[in-house]
Amino acid sequence: MMSTLMLVRDLSPLEELDAYEARFDFKLFVRLAWPVLEPATPFVFGWHLDAIADHLTAVAAGDIKRLLVNMPPRQRVILNDCS
């Protein structure tokens, strides 16, 4: 039976470390995933994304039970809220 985690290509040791750490750090995950999701758009991590990431991390940890994130239209809501 095949593993549910399949790598598309071999990773360098540094990429393996980043991939491992991104499992536990949502901000790092977003930064590393951005070029895959939006290759033509540069990623700029601002205070607002920092706040959203902190709150989503708290939801995942069970510290926050209910969270509502409001964003203006066309602000990449789907990409920012990939939890």
In the predicted model, is pLDDT for residue 1 greater than 80?
no
Higher pLDDT pick, 2 / 75? 75
- In this structure, the number of other CB atoms found within 10 A of the CB of residue 52 comes to 19
What residue ranges do the domains of the chain occupy?
A: 13-80
pLDDT tens-digit series, residues 17-41: 888 888 888 899 888 888 888 888 8
Mean pLDDT of the chain: 80
Tokens of 58: 């708290």
The CA-atom distances, in angstroms, between 12 and each of 15, 26, 39, 66 are 5, 21, 20, 39
Output Rg (C-alpha) for the chain, integer angstroms.
15
Distance CA 83, CA 73 (A): 19
pLDDT tens-digit series, residues 38-64: 888 888 888 988 999 999 999 999 999
Share of the chain above pLDDT 90, in %: 20
